[in-house]
């Protein structure tokens, strides 16, 4: 009992200043492409976030924001890992992350908590991986892949 209480007290202290890790699983994707077409897919994808949101100070300069990462592991393919920073929320309250190891500006990831039913399956999150532009800041990315997913851990 005492050990459990001690762990309950110490765990938040021991993990202070660390990124929180989340893993999601997606088996349905929806793409909005550069030419405006929409494509559906059913690949099995594991998405792991090392989320810097909780340790991101308010009003910090972009260069000083704590880094995290997101890894997309498609079944049968090599994983893709992107370095991210938490940059805030859009008007709908969705978390927005900028991809920092990209050669192209405005690569973003949105984490949208929602209830979405596709066919007979329910999804609790949509992770949008895409390109924003100056016309849609605060909105959704202009071109994206939407990973409909559920939190695993």
Domain range list for the chain: 19-151
**Burial label, 148 (beta-carbon count in 10 A; 0-12, 13-18, 19+):** buried
65-94 pLDDT tens trace: 999 999 999 999 999 999 999 988 888 888
Q: Looking at per-residue confidence, does 139 or 50 come out higher?
A: 50
Q: What is the pTM of this model?
A: 0.80
Q: Looking at per-residue confidence, does 91 or 135 come out higher?
A: 91
> What burial letters (b/e) apply to 125-145, b meaning 16+ CB within 10 Å?
bbbbbbbbeeeeeeebbebbb
Q: Looking at per-residue confidence, does 90 or 116 come out higher?
A: 116
1-32 pLDDT tens trace: 554 433 344 334 334 457 889 999 999 999 98
């Amino acid at each position: 009992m005492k050990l459990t209480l001690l762990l309950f007290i110490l765990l938040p202290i021991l993990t202070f200043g660390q990124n929180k890790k989340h893993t999601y699983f997606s088996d349905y994707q929806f793409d909005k492409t550069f030419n405006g077409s929409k494509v559906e897919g059913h690949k099995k994808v594991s998405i792991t976030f090392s989320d810097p949101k909780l340790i991101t100070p308010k009003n910090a300069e972009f260069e000083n924001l704590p880094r995290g990462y997101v890894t997309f592991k498609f079944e049968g393919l090599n994983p893709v890992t992107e370095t991210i920073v938490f940059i805030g929320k859009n008007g709908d309250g969705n978390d927005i992350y900028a991809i920092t190891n990209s050669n192209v500006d405005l690569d973003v990831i949105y984490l949208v908590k929602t209830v979405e039913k596709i066919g007979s399956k329910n999804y609790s999150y949509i992770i949008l991986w895409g390109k924003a532009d100056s016309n849609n800041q605060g909105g959704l990315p202009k071109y994206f892949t939407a990973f409909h997913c559920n939190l695993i851990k």
